[in-house]
């Protein structure tokens, strides 16, 4: 039975990945224009003030998530370890084709010896679920109340994919128990006074990250508002559950392009905005990686040991 469940889980995951991969190939075929992309990148970097605002907003977003993570654990561990852990997570999620970042940040926290492995894993999973709840809520509110119009086929495929993943997790007793355990943890956190503060901090962090989408969009003759950008960013990041490549290449562009199309952005502009936004995040993550390698290096052997715990 366990073998069947594992196969079913892989089938659902790869179905979603293949679907988004094919979407990206189609988008690239109809919208890719290298000269147009480079022209818009040049326009963006001509406005250094705008780029600095993007960078500050994006960086502070991670500082806030690190603070929320520390609030969950407690102040027995210094804030800098949480910041470096978040940045290591960002770097490795853009470097490797699977979500290695969460394994790295879990292990980096546990390495402090002030938090055991089980508590470190719990904290990362709870923070990730909190992210998904916030991002998913923003996405649903956009569809239901703001009147966002998505492609019917794309929306149905997304809902079916998400429902399938949840359904597979609920089929196996062990997975179901783990899922319910962490969901209860999330809601117990949210319902507490400290949890409300934590929730607000994480929400604000995603509000700041949306500034990157808004800033890139301003280079085009579009009527994209901040609320539009917040919804587009939330929808795009929530869609990374189908992550199958370094940094979610392909998945990110597909979801952001279709999200922007909901605001009548032409396909070519939507694709270009997605490419530039994602490219900026890659550049940011690799600059962060250089900082980490120089200032808080981790040996390759240690890293390999951590990554071997992926199945745990």
Q: How confident is the model at residue 169 (pLDDT cuts 50, 70, 90)?
A: low
Does 254 score more than 90 pLDDT?
no
- CA-CA-CA-CA dihedral for 189, 190, 192, 193, to nearest 10: 120
The whole-number pLDDT of residue 80 equals: 94
Q: How confident is the model at residue 256 (pLDDT cuts 50, 70, 90)?
A: very high
Contacts of 99 (CB under 8 A, 6+ apart): 93, 243
Q: How confident is the model at residue 94 (pLDDT cuts 50, 70, 90)?
A: confident
Least confident of 80-84, 133-137, 179-183: 179-183
The whole-number pLDDT of residue 251 equals: 85
Q: How confident is the model at residue 214 (pLDDT cuts 50, 70, 90)?
A: very high
Which of 6-10, 62-66, 197-201 is predicted most confidently?
Answer: 62-66
The model scores a pTM over 0.85: no
Contacts of 219 (CB under 8 A, 6+ apart): 40, 43, 44
| pLDDT: which is higher, 19 or 4 | 19
Nearest to 198 by CA among 209, 208, 207, 186: 186
Nearest to 42 by CA among 180, 200, 219: 219
The whole-number pLDDT of residue 1 equals: 46
The whole-number pLDDT of residue 245 equals: 67
| pLDDT: which is higher, 272 or 2 | 272
Least confident of 63-67, 150-154, 185-189, 213-217: 150-154
Handedness of CA 303, 304, 308, 310 (dihedral sign): positive
Does 5 score more than 50 pLDDT?
no
Q: What percent of the chain has pLDDT over 90?
A: 36
The whole-number pLDDT of residue 287 equals: 95
Nearest to 218 by CA among 61, 15, 27, 50: 50
Does 192 score more than 80 pLDDT?
no
The whole-number pLDDT of residue 112 equals: 82
Q: How confident is the model at residue 311 (pLDDT cuts 50, 70, 90)?
A: very low
List pLDDT tens digits, range 24-71. Answer: 788 888 888 999 999 999 999 999 999 999 999 999 999 999 999 999
In SS3 terms, 233-296 reads as: HHHHHHHHHHCCCHHHCCHHHHHHHHHHHCCCCCHHHHHHHHHHHHHHHHHHHHHHHHHHHHHC
Does 229 score more than 70 pLDDT?
yes
Q: Mean pLDDT over residues 251-273, rounded?
A: 90
The whole-number pLDDT of residue 50 equals: 93
| pLDDT: which is higher, 97 or 228 | 228
Least confident of 92-96, 137-141, 237-241, 286-290: 237-241
In SS3 terms, 127-176 reads as: HHHHHHHHHHHHHHHHHHCCCCCCCHHHHHHHHHHHHHHHHHHHHCHHHH
The whole-number pLDDT of residue 282 equals: 94
Q: What percent of the chain has pLDDT over 70?
A: 74
Does 210 score more than 80 pLDDT?
yes
């Amino acid at each position: 039975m366990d073998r069947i469940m594992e196969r079913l889980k892989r089938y659902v995951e790869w179905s979603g990945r293949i679907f988004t991969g094919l979407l990206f190939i189609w988008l690239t075929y109809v919208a890719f224009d290298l000269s147009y992309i480079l022209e818009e990148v040049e326009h963006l970097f001509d406005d250094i003030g705008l780029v600095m605002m993007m960078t500050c907003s994006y960086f502070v977003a991670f500082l806030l998530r690190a603070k929320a993570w520390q609030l969950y654990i407690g102040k027995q561990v210094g804030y800098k370890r949480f910041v470096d852990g978040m940045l290591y997570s960002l770097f490795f999620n853009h470097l490797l084709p699977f979500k290695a970042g969460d394994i790295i940040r879990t292990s980096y926290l546990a390495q402090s010896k002030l938090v055991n492995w089980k508590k470190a894993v719990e904290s990362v999973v709870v923070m990730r679920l909190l992210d998904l709840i916030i991002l998913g809520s923003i996405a649903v509110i956009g569809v239901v109340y703001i009147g966002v119009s998505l492609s019917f086929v794309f929306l149905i495929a997304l809902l079916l994919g998400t429902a399938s993943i949840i359904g597979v997790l609920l089929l196996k007793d062990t997975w179901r128990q783990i899922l319910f355990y962490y969901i209860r943890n999330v809601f117990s956190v949210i319902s507490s006074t400290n949890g409300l503060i934590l929730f607000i901090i994480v929400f604000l962090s995603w509000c700041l990250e949306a500034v990157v989408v808004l800033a890139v969009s301003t280079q085009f003759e579009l009527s994209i508002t901040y609320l539009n950008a917040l919804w587009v960013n939330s929808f795009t990041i929530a869609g990374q559950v189908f992550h199958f490549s370094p940094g979610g290449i392909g998945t990110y562009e597909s979801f952001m392009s279709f999200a922007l199309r909901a605001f009548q952005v032409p396909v070519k502009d939507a694709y270009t905005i997605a490419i530039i936004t994602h490219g900026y995040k890659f550049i940011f993550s690799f600059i962060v990686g250089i900082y980490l390698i120089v200032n808080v290096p981790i040996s390759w052997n240690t890293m390999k040991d951590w990554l071997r715990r992926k199945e745990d």
